[in-house]
């Protein structure tokens, strides 16, 4: 069965609500195993067909737990080339994290990214949670049947 990994960090719960909506959308697609986690080892990323990253923006940056997963995966020389990647997150004023994640997925790991990323100002509203569900569904549909 195709595997979709959703990895996220959230310090005050906003990105977490988005992550749950992404997972809900993905789980509406048959034939895809969806895992929602804070952390995964490089081998788990290698086993996934698609990976969606969620990070809020803190200090104009991706947060440390998500950076750590990306760093560990790069250092382990895990090949993610050709896998599907996407990104989302909550922010307060500048919101760099999701775009930075996509850049890393494209340039460092040669993943195929689903664009645009989703950036939500503070708490996600119902229409923004719906966008998150759609992102999860789109990514899951891309790998269903693999």
Ligand X SMILES: Cc1cc2nc3c(=O)[nH]c(=O)nc-3n(C[C@H](O)[C@H](O)[C@H](O)COP(=O)(O)O)c2cc1C
Of 42, 44, 46, 24, the residue nearest 34 (C-alpha): 24
Instruction: Confirm or reject binding of residue 64 to ligand X (CB under 6 A).
Output: no
Task: State which H helix or E strand residue 49 sits in.
Answer: none
- Pick 38 or 112: Cβ nearer ligand X: 38
Residue from 107, 105, 106, 135 nearest 119 by CA: 135
- Report the nearest approach of ligand X to the CB of residue 36 (Å): 14
- Among the candidate windows 26-34, 42-50, 57-65, 101-109, which touches ligand X by CB under 6 A? 57-65
Binding string, residues 107-136; x marks residues near ligand X by CB under 6 A:
---------------x--------------
Residues 79-108 touching ligand X, rule: CB under 6 A, are 90-95
How far, in Å, CA of 22 to CA of 66, rounded?
17
């Amino acid at each position: 069965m195709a595997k979709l990994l959703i990895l996220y960090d959230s310090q005050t719960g906003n990105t977490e609500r988005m992550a749950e909506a992404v997972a809900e959308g993905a789980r509406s697609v048959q034939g895809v195993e969806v895992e929602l986690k804070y952390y995964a080892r490089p081998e788990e990323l290698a086993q996934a067909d698609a990976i969606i990253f969620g990070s809020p923006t803190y200090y104009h940056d991706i947060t440390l737990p998500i950076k750590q997963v990306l760093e560990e995966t790069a250092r382990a020389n895990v090949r993610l080339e050709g896998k599907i990647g996407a990104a989302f997150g909550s922010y307060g004023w500048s919101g760099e994290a999701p775009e930075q994640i996509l850049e890393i997925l494209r340039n460092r790991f040669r993943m195929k990214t689903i664009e645009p990323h989703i950036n939500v100002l503070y708490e996600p509203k119902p229409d923004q949670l719906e966008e998150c569900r759609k992102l999860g569904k789109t990514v899951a549909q891309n790998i269903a049947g693999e």
